[in-house]
Amino acid sequence: MSKRWKIFFVLLVLATVTVWLSVFSTSSGGLKVISCNIGQGDASLIIYKNFEILIDGGPNNKVLDCLSTYMPFWDREIEVVMITHPQADHYTGIISVLDNYKVDKILANALNSSNQSYQLLKNKTLLMGIDVINPVRGTSIRSNLIQLDILYPTESFLAENYRQLTAGNDSGEVSSASSGSLGAFESKLDPNEFSIISLLRFGSFKFLFTGDASVKILDDLATTMSESGDNSINYIKIPHHGSKSALSERFYGAIKIGVASISVGKNSYGHPRPEILDLLKKHNIQVFRTDELGDIVFETDGNSIWTDN
């Protein structure tokens, strides 16, 4: 065999193997909800076929490992990235995600953070011309069989608590908050109070993502969800890494929950707090923790839900 043919043959073999690997790395029909093990912070990845939603990016760039592990290698596009609120343990990883993946849409609050890294994130988003949506209750994203409903914040809450950034900003009315910008407003409130809460629906299955929501928000949420008939969910991402600030007796009393994941790493706050763990135990909710199990993967085919952890 001449050298040229040898090279051709090797390339052909490589191409064939690559094609086979890409076939195998494509996920089967089901939906995957993953709590990425990124340390003390939040990052959840939702994959359905080649549609991805990333909710928060964690405090570092470990989220890239999570994306690399669960997305097929040829899929370099993340359809939706959500930043629940502008705190470093939720958005930092998004910066490296923007560097390495094509992001179609960013769902985030218009609340600003003066952090240097948040400004970097804002600039990157602007420079790349990524579509930004500032969601409020009622906003909904649909693709194929999955639907992501925003339950919080409400428009009225934002109207009350946003303050226009003083330094040169052109967008006018406070009510224009939902037309899409990053960091156009500031507030006296803790950024946690702005946490975007979303409910993912897949067939009859429901997954709740809660950011760093506080007791008050959860109490209200219990009412809203009961009223809309969502008083039974399959999965919850426990708010605020299991902090006591999210200890809502009312919420866990009113909403029936299948399993819970806690995204938590080494920390000095004592997260997750025993009070939260006790409460979850009291309601017979099985708990999965990223600091104990690493990435936590829940998978559903629409009929049943399972995990490998």
Residues in contact with other proteins by the rule CB under 8 A? 10-11, 14-15, 17-18, 21, 39, 59-62, 64-65, 67-69, 71, 73-74, 76, 92, 95-96, 99-101, 116-117, 120
Nearest to 196 by CA among 132, 247, 122: 132
d(CA 114, CA 112): 7
Minimum Å distance from CB 197 to other proteins? 27
Q: Compare residues 11 and 159 and give the one whose CB is closer to other proteins.
A: 11
Local structure of 17: helix, strand or coil: helix
Minimum Å distance from CB 58 to other proteins? 9
Long-range CB contacts (within 8 A, 24+) of 249-252: 249/279, 250/218, 250/219, 250/222, 251/218, 251/219, 251/221, 251/222, 252/279, 252/280, 252/282, 252/283, 252/285
Minimum Å distance from CB 55 to other proteins? 19
Minimum Å distance from CB 265 to other proteins? 11
Could you tell me which residues come within 8 angstroms of residue 234 by beta carbon, excluding any fewer than 6 positions away?
Answer: 205, 206, 207, 257, 258, 259, 300, 305
Q: Compare residues 271 and 273 and give the one whose CB is closer to other proteins.
A: 271
d(CA 44, CA 94): 12
Q: Compare residues 3 and 188 and give the one whose CB is closer to other proteins.
A: 3
Q: Compare residues 91 and 235 and give the one whose CB is closer to other proteins.
A: 91
Q: Compare residues 11 and 126 and give the one whose CB is closer to other proteins.
A: 11
Minimum Å distance from CB 92 to other proteins? 7
